[in-house]
Structures are given as structure tokens and as C-alpha cells.
Amino acid sequence: MTETDHSANVELFMHNTECNYYKIFAKLTEKPLHLPVIYAAIKAEDKEAPVPVIVMEMFEDCKVYDIITGFNEEQLYKIVDEIVKLHIFSLTTEEWKTIVPDAFVLEMAGYFQTMVAGIGEKLAQQPGLELVSTYIKNTFATDPKFLQNINDEYLEERRISVLTHGDLWAPQILWDKNDDIAGIIDWQITHRGSPMEDFHHIMSTCTSVENRKNLTKPLLDYYFDKLSSGLEAKGVKMPWTREEIEEEYKYSFINGAALTIFANGFWANSPVLQTDGKPDPVRIGESFKRCKSYLEEVIQEHNMS
């Protein structure tokens, strides 16, 4: 398959995935979190329209935050509120579990793993990011399918799973004029996964190193308390202890690192880290600083050498 074919398949996979979940959300009388109103979600193979299309409400008077500016403490707590709402929905409903990976999705997963490994090897050549090679040596080089093996643990319920956004970062979160979250968009790689996956991606890429180090524990405490009380209000028992949430957080470092490596490698050559259409060393340096600090913790927590 050519690179063009892969790109077309990735676009098809992402569109169809988003349609699948938007159709489930559209059936709900009460939205579980701040989601756009969907007027149409037509997949590539559907015959309701001549072309695949998603039609959603227009968010007016909203803003997104620059990834390098990053989220502050108050904003991070508001994001955790939305993650909690998504997990309450996940743990009190079943229909979302009917969306399962087919052969095409599994093929795309394999393609993604190959991409991440390749990006990681290039990123490891950047000054200060040599430790990426340590991560690759202990993951992709040991088992090229290690990401899929982790995902299978949640698909097969060997670990408790929730619905994860899968690509939760600054541009996907729309804020209103009062600096409250107005909507979360782009559910293109949503899937069944770890309750810590979206939290890891936000904390590793969209806030400062200082915020990640200082706020992770209090944010996890807050997540646990809010999820526990939210589930109790619905008559559902909290499936994790606080200690088990901590264990899940540490376990999910492995997957979180792969996403962070992919993101930094991709953004370094895209408008995300550019100014006036040119690579911005300051922006790239800040993003790489976050990546390095996060990977240092991953390598320490998982005893990689």
C-alpha cells in the first residue's frame, strides 16, 4: 500500500469513527459532557448523502488556547471535570461498547505503531531528546505490537475500560467568554481505553513542566473524589480505589509516552510550533522540554535502561 493509500485510509478511519460516536451521543436526551449538537453524521459507506459528511452546531464567541501558552491550574480542573463526566457516562451505559475494532481499524493501529516508532527514532536525534531511544529500546524494539497488546487489555476487559477521546489537546477544547468549556470536538480516534489516557495527553503536552509536576497528584485526588460521588449519585459503585487510580496512572505512562512522542515529532514540522510560517525554536524548545521531562518520569517509573 502506498503512502497516499495509507493517508486516505487514515482519513476514512477517523471520519467513520467520529460518526459512530456522534450517532451514539445524538441519541442521548442529556449530553454527558460539553459536546456539539450533531445534525448529520454520514459515514463513507452510508447512502444518505453523496459524500461522507458531519454537520454540527457552530460554536460562536469561543476561543482555543495556544498549546505553548498551555492550560493554567483552573483550566486543568475544568478539563478534569469533563473527563469525569465522560467516565461517568462510560461506567453507567453500554451502547458505546458495541463499537469494536474491525480488521480495517486493526490495520490502522499497526500502521500507527510503525509511524510512532519511526518518529521516535528521528526525535531521539534531537539534542536533549536522546532518551527517546531508551523508550524505543524497551518498547517497540522489544515488541513491535506492544501498543496493540496494551489496547487489548482494555478491549478484553482485563483492565477496566472507559470511553476515551483519544486526542484530547488544546485545539479540541473550545472555551467561552467566561473561560468555561463550551465544547469538546474532533472525536476521530475515540476508543475503549484507560481512564488515564486523556489526562496523560493533556498533562504531557498542554501545560508546563512545573504544572504537571505540582498538579498531577491534586488533580488525580480531585478526579477520584468527583468520579466517586458522581457514580454514587447514579447508584453505581466506584470501580477503583484511590491506590488503583494511582497504579493505573503509572501503568498508562507507557501508552502516554507513545502519544507524546508522536505529537512532538509531528508538531515540530507543522504550523503548531511555527511562527509566521517558520519553525519557532522557542516554541519547539518548550514542547521538547515537556516531552523530555515526561519521558524521564516514564523511564524511571518503568525501570527502563
* Dist CA 92 CA 239 (whole Å): 11
Each residue of 166-195: b (16+ CB within 10 Å) or e?
bbbbbebbbbeeeeebbbbbbbbbbbbbbb
The one-letter amino acid code at 141 reads A
The one-letter amino acid code at 167 reads D
8 A C-beta contact, residue 81 and residue 184:
no
Candidate from 66-80, 92-106, 189-203, 215-229 with smallest mean pLDDT: 92-106
**What would the mean pLDDT of 279-289 be, rounded to a whole number?**
97
* Dist CA 140 CA 126 (whole Å): 19
List domains and CATH numbers for the chain.
60-302 (3.90.1200)
Candidate from 5-9, 128-132, 148-152, 184-188 with smallest mean pLDDT: 5-9
* Dist CA 89 CA 118 (whole Å): 36
What is the reported pLDDT for 4?
A: 60
165, with CB counted inside 10 A (0-12, 13-18, 19+), is: buried
pLDDT at 165 exceeding the cut of 80? yes
Candidate from 27-41, 169-183, 216-230 with smallest mean pLDDT: 27-41
* Dist CA 154 CA 193 (whole Å): 5
pLDDT band with cut points at 50, 70 and 90 for residue 48 = confident
pLDDT at 159 exceeding the cut of 60? yes
- According to DSSP, the residues that pair with 111 across neighbouring strands are none
DSSP state of 126: S
pLDDT at 80 exceeding the cut of 60? yes
Instruction: Give the model confidence (pLDDT) of 253-277 as tens digits.
Output: 999 999 999 999 999 989 999 999 9
Instruction: Give the model confidence (pLDDT) of 88-145 as tens digits.
Output: 999 999 999 999 877 777 777 777 888 899 999 999 999 999 999 999 999 999 998 8
Candidate from 2-6, 60-64, 255-259 with smallest mean pLDDT: 2-6
DSSP 112-175: HHHHHHHHHHHHTTSTT-TTHHHHHHHTTTT-TTHHHHHHHHHHTTSS--EEE-S--SGGGEEE
pLDDT at 2 exceeding the cut of 70? no
**What would the mean pLDDT of 167-195 be, rounded to a whole number?**
96
8 A C-beta contact, residue 40 and residue 57:
no
